[in-house]
Amino acid sequence: MAAREMVPVSDGVRNISSFVTRRLNRLQGELKGQENLTLQCPDCEQMTLVVVPGGGFCHFCGASWSSDESIACDYLEARDETEELIQLCPQCDCYALVESVVFADDPNAADSLYCFGCTVRYTAGELISCAGCSRLWPIEADDDGGAGTLCPECRDQTQPESVE
Ligand SMILES: [Zn+2]
Ligand SMILES: [Zn+2]
Ligand SMILES: [Zn+2]
């Protein structure tokens, strides 16, 4: 009977590239089907961070986040960007929308926006800055383009009383 024990993984092992490759290959199977929720981990820089509403968990290094704010900040920090780039999400009204979030299912699309709060995803072409308050808002199909795009809040404020 084989009595070989599992050797505890030390930090040094992380640097052995063949070990990394083997683990990543195995993880690829584990993460299959979740590519649309998988992005690069801010901690280990592998494409193994699976996001959930308000957080995420990295299957490679085990890092986990349980608040949209902390994961959005860490994600930006890993790119040497600041949290000032976090925008208000049109769907959930949280400051958790981040630009240029690259997912495993579309690694070449650098222009998607992702909300770490509600996991909604937009492409850059789907959102436009509100002409009133400049928050990002989805472009509506029936937008007549007349007075520029306004978010519902600004639309309520600027609606002239007599317009029917
Ligand atoms: Zn990681
Ligand atoms: Zn959201
Ligand atoms: Zn507005």
Q: How far is the CA of 156 from the centre of ligand 3 (A)?
A: 9
pLDDT of 81 = 93
Ligand minimally distant from the alpha carbon of residue 24: 1
Give the Cα separation of 51 and 73 in Å (integer).
Answer: 14
Q: How far is the CA of 54 from the centre of ligand 2 (A)?
A: 9
What residues flank ion ligand 3 with Cβ within 5 A? 130, 132-133, 151, 154
As to burial, measured by CB atoms within 10 angstroms (0-12 exposed, 13-18 middle, 19+ buried), residue 160 is exposed
Give the Cα separation of 156 and 11 in Å (integer).
Answer: 56
Q: How far is the CA of 143 from the centre of ligand 2 (A)?
A: 22
What tens-digit pLDDT sequence spans the chain (164 residues)? 444 555 555 555 545 688 888 899 999 889 999 999 999 999 999 999 999 999 999 999 999 999 999 999 999 999 999 888 999 999 999 999 999 999 999 887 777 899 999 999 998 889 999 989 999 999 876 655 555 788 888 988 876 665 54
Question: Phi then psi for 18, rounded to 5 degrees?
Answer: -70, -35
Give the Cα separation of 3 and 16 in Å (integer).
Answer: 25
Domain extents in the chain: 17-125
pLDDT of 5 = 56
